[in-house]
């Protein structure tokens, strides 16, 4: 009961936040899902791009003459590439089983020592052009060969007349 002269009590009620309608709640949830999907999409795109880059860069094999390879030694580092040259006469060394363990190739005035771990092709011999797959060993100019390809056709020599030269300067 209210007595005369006393202030009336004021009932204070905290404000009520407006209730979200089901449609507004659904829109917020939808936006949250879309932002998550966007993040996942970006991560997947980056991962796919990285995998494609690695596949392409590891599949690319650089092709250099022995002279070009020695000149580009620092840039090549220990990466795998193909080196081309002429097997130097008298440089082939074999182990007790007859497998080629080392030889030298030449290109212009440059000679490169090759340490071989690959089986040699039947046509492998001195004074023939070869392409080797491998890499330089450490900081040396010694080439570690993992594959030997013999270039023996006249069509190859005709297509690349200045690449394949004998030590005396003639082309084969």
Residue 141 located in a structural domain: yes
The distance between the two most distant Cα atoms of the chain, rounded to a whole number of Å, is: 130
The better pLDDT of the pair 20, 127 is held by 127
- Which residues form the domain of 71? 62-159
Which CATH number belongs to the domain containing residue 155 in this structure?
2.40.50.140
Predicted local distance difference test score (pLDDT) of residue 158: 62
Q: Give whole-number Cα distances, 99 to 49, 52, 82, 92, 171, in Å.
A: 43, 38, 21, 10, 28
Q: CB-based contacts of 17: which residues, under 8 Å, 6+ apart? A: none
Residue 97 located in a structural domain: yes
Predicted local distance difference test score (pLDDT) of residue 139: 87
Burial class of residue 147 (count of CB atoms within 10 Å of its CB; 0-12, 13-18, 19+): middle
Residue 34 located in a structural domain: no
Residue 51 located in a structural domain: no
Predicted local distance difference test score (pLDDT) of residue 172: 46
Residue 43 located in a structural domain: no
Q: What span, in angstroms and rounded, lies between the C-alpha atoms of 84 and 133?
A: 9
Domain count of the fold of the chain: 1
Q: What would the mean pLDDT of 118-126 be, rounded to a whole number? A: 88
pLDDT at 9 over 60: yes
For tokens 């006469």, name the residue: 89
For tokens 């330089």, name the residue: 136
């Amino acid at each position: 009961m209210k007595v005369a002269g006393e202030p009336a009590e004021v009932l204070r009620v905290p404000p009520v936040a407006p209730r979200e309608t089901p449609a507004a709640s659904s829109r917020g949830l939808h936006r949250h899902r879309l932002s998550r999907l966007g993040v996942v999409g970006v991560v997947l795109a980056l991962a796919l791009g990285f995998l494609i880059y690695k596949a392409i860069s590891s599949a690319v094999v650089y092709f250099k003459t022995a002279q070009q390879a020695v000149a580009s030694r620092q840039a090549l580092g220990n990466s795998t590439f193909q080196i081309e040259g002429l097997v130097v006469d008298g440089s082939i060394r074999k182990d007790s089983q007859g497998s080629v363990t080392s030889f030298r190739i030449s290109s212009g005035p440059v000679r490169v020592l090759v340490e071989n771990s690959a089986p040699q092709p039947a046509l492998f011999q001195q004074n023939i052009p070869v392409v080797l797959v491998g890499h330089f060993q450490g900081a040396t100019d010694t080439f570690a060969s993992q594959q030997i390809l013999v270039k023996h056709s006249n069509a190859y020599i005709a297509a690349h007349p200045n690449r394949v030269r004998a030590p005396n300067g003639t082309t084969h």
